[in-house]
Amino acid sequence: MSTTPPSERTRAKRIHDRGAYDRDTIYSVLDAGFVCNVAYVIDDSPYVTPTIHWREGDQIYWHGSSASRMLRRSTNAEVCLSVAHNDGLVLARSGFHHSLNYRSVMAFGVARLVEGDDMKTARLKTFVERLYPGRWDTLRPVTTKELKATTILTMPLTEASAKIRSGPPVDDEEDYALSVWAGVLPLTTVPGTPVPCERLDPAIPIPEYLNAPEPG
């Protein structure tokens, strides 16, 4: 298990035991969901856009329309990418100590274009296979025109950190005697029943991968 030394930006500033820098933790938080938030700067102003992400080794990827402002303006520019899972509401005995259980990652870097049709196709395959194992080969091949209309950005996870809170509320010692309910309300994202497209041939069965629990 390798370790990324924290930079000035990624070092957890206040609650040091909540910060984690080992790669396995960072990878597992990134891989437990599929939507990140990417922040970037245009004309000195901050912007943040939620988008789907995926990871291959130490590279993180996100993509969209080649016409997207977010993708055009963050190519070769500094970005900050954040992933967070909300695991539970933490109800303490004082308003002050109410909290949230979460797993989050913050990563800084310069976003680079993935270039070349073969490279882009391989990345898109990884993205689809990650969410729907076995689906890629059941789809028609991606076209050159579609590849041209798709921008994929990537950055290495060289400056990244994870932050995790879990467990019960932590109250002031004298508050434990108060007569108020305290604990955690767990939150989970769950997949529902697949809804077939109205134009789908009813003979086509729901694929196996939609019955498996989703990451998240």
Residues 173-202 that bind a second copy (CB under 8 A): 175-176, 178-201
172's tokens:
């002031």
Distances (CA, A) of 21 to 81, 94, 159: 15, 31, 9
CB 22 within 8 A of CB 37: no
Judged by CB under 8 A, the residue of 59, 75, 104, 126 near a second copy is 104
Give the three-class secondary structure for 174. Answer: helix
Least separation, in Å, of the C-beta of 1 and a second copy?
26
Q: Is 56 in the site for a second copy (CB under 8 A)?
A: no
Judged by CB under 8 A, the residue of 3, 122, 134, 139 near a second copy is 139
For 51-115, the DSSP string reads EEEEEETTEEEEEEETT-HHHHHHTTSEEEEEEEEEEEEEE-SSGGG-EEEEEEEEEEEE-EE--
Least separation, in Å, of the C-beta of 122 and a second copy?
12
Least separation, in Å, of the C-beta of 177 and a second copy?
9
Residue 28 or 48 having the CB closest to a second copy: 48
Q: Is 81 in the site for a second copy (CB under 8 A)?
A: yes
Q: Is 98 in the site for a second copy (CB under 8 A)?
A: yes
Residue 98 or 133 having the CB closest to a second copy: 98
Residue 1 or 14 having the CB closest to a second copy: 14
Residues touching a second copy, count (CB under 8 A): 92
Give the three-class secondary structure for 27. Answer: helix
Nearest to 159 by CA among 21, 15, 1, 18: 21
d(CA 83, CA 85): 7
Residues in the chain: 216
Residue 5 or 181 having the CB closest to a second copy: 181
Least separation, in Å, of the C-beta of 152 and a second copy?
12
Residue 4 or 92 having the CB closest to a second copy: 92
